[in-house]
Chains A and B, each alone.
Chain A
Amino acid sequence: MSERLTVAKTYKLYVGGAFPRSESGRSYPVQDAKGAFLANAAQASRKDVRDAVVAARKALGGWSRATAYNRGQVLYRVAELLEGRREQFVAELGASEGLAAKRAQSIVDLVVDRWVWYAGWADKIATVLGAANPVAGPYFSFSVPEPTGVVGVLAPQSSSLLGLVSVVAPVIATGNTAVVVASQDRPLPAITLSEVLATSDVPGGVVNVLTGRTAELAPWLASHADVNALDLTGAPEATTTELERAAAGTVKRVLRAGAAEPDWTVAPDVKRLRAFLETKTVWHPKGT
């Protein structure tokens, strides 16, 4: 008896809660850490960027106005689903990043835990970053953090899952929606994560994942007038200055990349939560 032929997965984009192919019809081969063919991934175009931004904008109203408790629960649910797919992620990480099984397992553990950590922040960040301002007058003045809006995220190139989760979770935990450009050479875990999101309670459009050439897609995100902020973490080093310049065209908030990709296993702080929050200060007189 011959061995059963496995059913290979077609990796597509994740936009507005659906899994379309690139409108360009393009795909590109993805290799494992040793250079062997793994799968074809959709190669998104600028029009896919455009569609993803539309989807993210459309989802923003509902997601940003959901109660923080609700967002926390929805995100926690994602962690539950991630836990259920541990084996798949371990296998994919092993293939994508060439990690030994044990190492891959510990990374996936961190991924789930990190997601839980950020899920718990959804209904606390306003307490930590907000304030009642003791102004010198008969007014109640308070400041609350609010999501910046649609955030373009260039996901880390090396850490295809832990890095991805570490940059996406804080963006959506704070009520933003995201257009994510996945690691160019290691895009498969991002698509699998999309499948988790699609089957979770995260509304379609809150996270949109594009695979393809980062250097091709990033300028369209950086210059898009309906994108409010840009995370350059996974931007190719040679392009960051240009991207920042493009972002200046509509005064986007830009989270710059460090000199090297961060060590994602280090416990995070609230910096990434702060990065895509605005502060709104409200005043009202006190009187009878």
Chain B
Amino acid sequence: MAAPSPANTGLPPALADATRDETSLRRFLHGLPGVDQVGVEQRAAGLATRSIKKAAKLWAIDTAIGMVDLTTLEGADTAGKVRSLCAKGRRPDPERPEVPRVAAICVYPDMVTTAVEALGDSGIHVASVATAFPSGRSSMPVKIADTELAVAAGADEVDMVIDRGAFLSGRYGRVFDEIVTIKHACGDAHLKVILETGELATYDNVRRASWLAMLAGADFIKTSTGKVSPAATLPVTHVMLQAVRDWHTATGTRVGVKPAGGIRTTKDAIRYLVAVHEVAGPEWLNPDLFRFGASSLLNDLLMQRRAQLDGHYSGPDYVTVD
């Protein structure tokens, strides 16, 4: 394992100790409280019954729009597609200029330049996936180069994937080192660490991976690549929200959370916001600390926003397809 990185200096002694070596790290991660599956799923389902109406709903919709990492991660992506997405991100509802812009545009590294150009001084961040996304199956030099490419092209946010194989085989030190290294390669860019919770299989693993990523210096922990099913789920996000809350209790710093994949409706998004509000706390209701990795969600938010304001339901022909 690498020597303590700049990322985790200044940690409380107990946490700094946890990253001293592989054995300490394992002991620490396995000493975290377990997660009872039925209990967390029940809590998530219970909180999902919150009824958010009227002004609270409108606030939630606008907040959610401002938290969207509008994403295209297709082999078929072209400069045209990315530019169109950027335009959408800047003015999600062209007829309603008061609609907030999205938080970021999320693309593959080779599309970063296009996105940076298209976004100009809009204030919208450019996020790039990296580290041999989505599988993470490549060598470290390739992953570093991938990251450097994205950052050099102007990405100010990097969404890396962890080595799930290493994690599942218990080589936590390897995963830790990778994150530390990528964090270093990111420079000033914010690092989102994708846990790919669908492959981690248990909530205990999700909690351990969350802590591992935070110990290694993650600015955000993110559920999924969107390429694996299940992607984001409410209970998985609950576990991660509990982790960032506990991290804040332990260190005084706040790490962000980004569920990605499968969140398509306003109803879903509001359920996530309620979870953020009541599990992590109201401080996390902020694009600096919570994002939605999504594409089709945005249009549903826009339609619901119109319905909310116009008093009747909208339709897909009244929002733009990009």
Closest to B38 in A: A285
Give the nearest-CB partner of A285 in chain B.
Answer: B38
Bound: A217/B238 CA distance, A:
62
Q: Return chain B residues, CB-CB under 8 Å to A286.
A: 38
How long is the Cα–Cα vector from A286 to B36 in the complex, in angstroms?
9
Asked whether any CB of chain B lies closer than 8 Å to the CB of A139, the reply is yes
Min CB distance, B279 to chain A, in Å?
19
Q: How far is the CA of A111 from the CA of B220 in the complex (A)?
A: 77
B201: A residues at CB distance < 8 A: 288
Q: For window 113-142 of chain A, which residues contact chain B by CB distance below 8 Å?
A: 137-139
Contact check, B36 vs A285: say whether CB atoms are below 8 A apart: yes
Q: B37 on the interface (CB 8 Å rule)?
A: yes
Query: Within 8 Å of chain A (Cβ to Cβ): is B138?
Result: no
Is there a chain B Cβ closer than 8 Å to A25's Cβ?
no
CA distance A139 to B37 in the complex (A): 11
Assembly CA distance A138 to B36 (angstroms): 12
- Name the B residues within 8 Å of A285 (CB-CB): 36-39
- Whether a CB of chain A sits under 8 angstroms from the CB of B229 is no
Q: How many residues of A contact B (CB 8 A)?
A: 7
In whole angstroms, how far apart are the Cα atoms of A285 and B35 in the complex? Answer: 12
A138 with B202: CB separation less than 8 A: no
Chain B residues with CB below 8 A from A287, complex form: 36-38, 41
CA distance A137 to B42 in the complex (A): 11
Complex interface: chain B residues within 8 A of A288 (CB)? 37, 201-203
Q: Chain B 11-55 against A: per-residue CB contact (8 Å), 1 yes, 0 no? A: 000000000000000000000000011110100000000000000
- Interface readout for A131-158 with B: 1 if CB under 8 Å, 0 if not? 0000001110000000000000000000
Q: For residue B39, which residues in chain A have a CB less than 8 angstroms away from its CB?
A: 285
Residues in chain B near residue A139, CB distance under 8 A:
38
CA gap between A137 and B38 in the complex, in Å: 9
Interface residues of A in 239-288 (CB under 8 A from B): 285-288
Within 8 A of A (CB), among B157-215: 201-203
A288 to B200, CA, bound (A): 12
CA distance A138 to B41 in the complex (A): 11
How many angstroms from the CA of A137 to the CA of B41 in the assembled complex? 12
Note all chain A residues with C-beta closer than 8 A to B36.
285, 287
A288, B202: Cα distance in complex, Å: 6
- Bound CA–CA A138/B42 (angstroms): 10
| Nearest-Cβ distance from residue A133 to partner chain B, whole angstroms | 16
Which B-chain residue is minimally distant from A137 (CB atoms)? B38
Complex interface: chain B residues within 8 A of A138 (CB): 37-38
A158 to chain B, nearest CB (A): 56
A138 vs chain B, min Cβ distance (A): 5
B202 contact set on A, CB distance < 8 A: 288
Q: Which residues on B sit within 8 Å (CB–CB) of A137? A: 38
**A285–B201 alpha-carbon span in the complex (Å):** 18
- Complex Cα distance, B202 from A138, in Å, reads 16
Q: CA A231 – CA B39 in complex, angstroms?
A: 43
Distance in Å from the Cβ of A191 to the closest Cβ of chain B? 56
A139 and B39 alpha carbons, distance in the complex (Å) = 11
Determine the distance from Cα of A285 to Cα of B39 in the docked complex, in whole angstroms. 8
- Chain B, residue nearest A284 (CB): B38
Q: CA–CA, A53 to B202, complex, Å? A: 52
Question: In the assembled complex, which residues on chain A have CB atoms less than 8 Å from the CB atom of B37?
Answer: 138, 285, 287-288
CB closest chain-A residue, reference B205:
A288
A-B contact pairs, 17 of them (CB 8 A): A137-B38, A138-B37, A138-B38, A139-B38, A285-B36, A285-B37, A285-B38, A285-B39, A286-B38, A287-B36, A287-B37, A287-B38, A287-B41, A288-B37, A288-B201, A288-B202, A288-B203
Residue ranges of B at the interface with A (Cβ–Cβ < 8 Å): 36-39, 41, 201-203
The 6 lowest CB-CB distance pairs between A and B, nearest first, are A287-B37, A285-B38, A287-B38, A138-B38, A288-B202, A288-B37
Taking A285-B38, A285-B39, A288-B203 as given, write out 7 further A-B residue pairs in contact, using a Cβ cutoff of 8 Å, ordered by the A residue number: A138-B37, A285-B36, A287-B37, A287-B38, A287-B41, A288-B37, A288-B201
